[in-house]
Amino acid sequence: MNIKKTIVASLLACMLPAAAMAKDIQVGVSMALFDDNFLTIVRTSIQQEMQKDGVKGQIEDAKGDVAQQLQQVQSFIGQGVDAIIVNPVDTNAVKPIMDQAKKAGVALVFVNRRPQAELTDKMAYVGSDSELAGRLQMEELAKAMHGKGNVAILLGDLANESTRDRTKGVEAVVAKYPNIKVVQKQTAKFMRNDAVDVVSNWLTAGDDIQAIASNNDEMAIGALQALGKNPNHILIAGVDGTPDALQMLKNGKMVATVFQDAKGQGEGAVQTAIKLAKGEEVQKVVNVPYQLITKDNMDKFTNRNQK
């Protein structure tokens, strides 16, 4: 009798690893917007990391629509995925997504944009500390301004925590300089074309501006386009470290940008999703550090955020 039991037990033991391996991990990914240069790099990185790790799944475009993003998450849950990665459209509107994932017992990883809600079990955030980006950017601008003058802030999407936190970082540095004043603050929604319009309006209105702190590189480049061939010696800094921004740094048109590791965020999101799906412990917040880029150190960042 005992021999029989032992044989059955060892047969089961042999079968278990095969069964465990056969269950490929499936991940559903919902990105806030495909049509965004920085998020495209994050998305490509997620795609590559999923292929590398043999993870099955699909990546959907929420097209900046909160309702569509929630539908995508519901659809992933309906398909029986093991984990969901979300780059939120609105960081204040993540509660329904979290509720759905929790109810279904599906692992949920937010990437790049920090959700404004308490993360519970089987949830994590992979991204960077946006306030630090604003501080690094403004410290460099303040240095270039010799500690005096007027600064305008180009705000990103107002529904986004990175807009709030980067701006908070800029203002915290301005507060340390009695001779620097914020004279304009306006949203250009992280978009290059919107920034062209906003900055053109500032110039037309005759606003006295010595520097522009932009919440991202796309708007910083839009500001440069608005300034045209005669940049009026307005100093400009961005955030992200995109290839286009590095080109502007090289040409001496931008003072600084702040490297946000898109590749690191994408890879980190997939690795965290896999661990959560396997029931492993992960940090609630996986921080991918920002780094200041100036003309002096830009060489080491040149190929880091390629699409």
Q: What is the pLDDT of residues 21-64, one digit of tens each?
A: 325 899 999 999 999 888 999 999 999 999 999 999 999 999 99
Write the DSSP assignment of 213-252 as a string of letters: EESSHHHHHHHHHHHTT--TT-EEE-SB--HHHHHHHHTT
Whole-number pLDDT of residue 233:
84
Pair of tokens at residue 240: 């992200």
Pair of tokens at residue 101: 């994932």
Whole-number pLDDT of residue 232:
65
Whole-number pLDDT of residue 307:
56
User: What percent of the chain is modeled with pLDDT above 70?
Assistant: 90
Q: What is the mean pLDDT of residues 67-79?
A: 98
Q: What is the mean pLDDT of residues 196-217?
A: 96
Q: What is the mean pLDDT of residues 139-144?
A: 98
More confident residue, 229 or 85: 85
- pLDDT of 16 above 70: no
Q: What is the pLDDT of residues 249-296, one digit of tens each?
A: 999 999 999 999 999 999 999 999 999 999 999 999 999 999 999 999
pTM over 0.85: no
Which CATH superfamily includes the segment(s) 130-259? Response regulator (3.40.50.2300)
Whole-number pLDDT of residue 47:
96
User: In degrees rounded to 5, what are phi and psi of residue 273?
Assistant: -60, -40
Fold equal for 2-128+261-288 and 130-259: yes
More confident residue, 19 or 75: 75
Residue with tokens 């929790």: 102
CATH classification for the domain delimited by 2-128+261-288, as one of 3.40.50.300, 3.40.50.2300, 3.50.50.60, 3.40.190.10: 3.40.50.2300
Helices and strands per DSSP (H, E), number in the chain = 10, 12
Q: What is the pLDDT of residues 209-244, one digit of tens each?
A: 999 999 999 999 999 999 986 656 899 999 999 999
Q: Over the chain, what is the mean pLDDT?
A: 90
Whole-number pLDDT of residue 159:
85
More confident residue, 201 or 307: 201
Cα distances (Å, whole numbers) of residue 131 to 30, 135, 172, 176, 304: 25, 6, 9, 15, 22
- Where are the chain's structural domains? 2-128+261-288, 130-259
Residue burial 28-37, b: 16+ Cβ < 10 Å; e: rest: bbbbbbeebb
Pair of tokens at residue 89: 């459209």
- pLDDT of 19 above 60: no
Q: What is the pLDDT of residues 145-165, one digit of tens each?
A: 999 999 999 999 998 889 999
Q: What is the mean pLDDT of residues 113-128?
A: 94
- pLDDT of 8 above 60: no
